[in-house]
Structure 1
């Protein structure tokens, strides 16, 4: 049976702040935004990043599930870009929070990458594949 991962649900403290981060810094396309009524806090934001969908939900309604957990811990996401140095500079220009690695670094497995932390602590490994297609999916 063939399977393909198509989306991720991220539970966040502030859906609007995460929506702005993923749209303005990462470049994700906003597909849908939901609220219970006009002017109410967002209850869901759906964004597209290439063929991948980000479903951003508020953490508060699920507070019991997060009693012993910290947002962003236990998951590490990866995002491939065409020019990691240019994307890194874009993140710097946007004031994004960089995590772990600092500037893009060449890795022994053929990626040039850096780590980007979103407003809730989810870490993205942003990379450029320099292997000539060995890591192409």
Structure 2
């Protein structure tokens, strides 16, 4: 049986702030935004990065589940781009880069990558595959 990972749910402190980060910095397309009442806080934002769906939910209604954890800990996401240096500069230009690894670096396995954290501490490896397809993320 073949399976495909299609989406991830991220529980965030501020859905609108995270939506802006993923739309403006990462380039995710905003598909849907939902609030329980008109002009109320967002309760769900659905974004698309390529064929992958990112769903942002507020953490607060699930506070009990997160009582002993910190957001962003224990998950590491990857985003493949065509030009990692250009994407790194884009992040800097947007003023939203919270880098944990500094400049893009060439790795032994053929990737050129850097890591950044989103507003809630989720870590993303941003990479360009220069291995000729020998390594798939």
TM-score range, shorter chain: over 0.9
User: In structure 2, how many angstroms separate the alpha carbons of the residues matched to 1:72 and 1:133?
Assistant: 29
Give 1:37 shift.
1.4
Deviation at 1:97, TM superposition (A): 3.1
Normalising by the residue count of structure 2, what TM-score does the alignment of the two structures yield?
0.97
Q: Match of 1:10?
A: 10
Separation in structure 2 between the aligned mates of residue 53 and residue 72 of structure 1, nearest angstrom:
18
Deviates more, 1:124-133 or 1:97-106: 97-106
Q: Cα RMSD between the aligned structures?
A: 1.0
Q: Quote the offset at 1:132 in angstroms.
A: 1.3
CA distance in 2, matches of 1:98, 1:33: 25
Count of residues in correspondence between the two structures? 137
Q: Secondary structure at the match of 2:127?
A: strand
Distance 1:96 1:134 in 2: 32
Q: C-alpha separation between the residues in 1 aligned to 2:32 and 2:113?
A: 30
TM-score (norm 1): 0.97
Consecutive unaligned residues in structure 2, runs of 5 or more: none
Tell me which residue corresponds to 2:32: 32
Q: Which runs of 5 or more residues in structure 1 are unaligned?
A: none
- Residue 135 of structure 1 corresponds to which residue in structure 2? 135
Q: Please state whether the residue corresponding to 1:21 is helix, strand or coil.
A: helix
Deviations along 1:5-41, whole A, 9 cap, x unmatched?
0000000000000000000000000000000111100
